[in-house]
């Protein structure tokens, strides 16, 4: 008989988080753990063909064999490209500094 391991499976939405703890046989893969958790039925928007997964914040593959006390995380797709958001914020910052400089010189006159 194989030894059981304890793992967590988590899926976070903006206003809700599912965090489940399960005891599963050793040798179980991340995909098997996710399917056993019931999260796919509760959250039909999860598509294991598209959603990335990770173990403790590090990307992992569905066939990764889990170890005792691993936490499997199901990630949602990004809404915005982080690089593009940073670029927009930097542009806004430059515009604000320019505008502030003009106001300061107008007040000095």
Give the per-residue pLDDT at 1: 47
Nearest alpha carbon to residue 35 among 14, 58, 13, 7: 7
Domain enclosing residue 96, as ranges: 79-109
3-state secondary structure of 58: strand
Please give the pLDDT value at position 14: 85
pLDDT, one tens digit per residue, over 3-41 is 899 999 999 988 889 999 999 999 999 999 999 999 999
Query: Quick check: 103 pLDDT over 80?
Result: no
Q: Are residues 62 and 86 in the same domain?
A: no
Does residue 92 carry a pLDDT above 60? Answer: yes
Greatest Cα pair distance, the chain, in angstroms, is 86
pLDDT greater at residue 66 or residue 92: 66
- CB neighbourhood size of 5 (10 A): 19
Assess whether 57 and 107 both reside in one domain.
no
* Cα–Cα distance measured from residue 74 to residue 5, given in angstroms and rounded to the nearest whole number: 19
Strands (E), 1-109: 4-13, 16-25, 53-55, 58-60, 71-74
Contact 48/37 with Cβ under 8 angstroms? no
pLDDT tens track for 48-86: 999 999 999 999 999 999 999 999 999 988 777 778 878
CATH for 20? 3.10.20.30
Q: Which residue reads 């006390």 in tokens?
A: 69
pTM here? 0.70
- Give yes or no: residues 70 and 85 share one domain: no
| More reliable by pLDDT, 107 or 20 | 20
Structural domains counted in the chain: 2
Beta bridge partners of 77: none
Same domain, 58 and 105: no
């Amino acid at each position: 008989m194989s030894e059981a391991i304890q793992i967590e499976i988590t899926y976070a939405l903006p206003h809700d988080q599912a965090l489940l703890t399960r005891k599963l046989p050793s040798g179980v893969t991340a995909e098997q753990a996710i399917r056993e958790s019931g999260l796919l039925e509760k959250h039909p928007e999860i598509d294991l063909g598209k959603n990335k997964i990770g173990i403790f914040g590090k990307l992992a593959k569905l066939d990764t064999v889990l170890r005792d006390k691993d936490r499997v995380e199901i990630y949602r797709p990004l809404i915005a490209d982080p690089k593009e958001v940073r670029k927009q914020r930097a542009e806004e910052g430059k515009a604000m500094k320019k505008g502030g400089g003009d106001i300061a010189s107008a007040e000095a006159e």
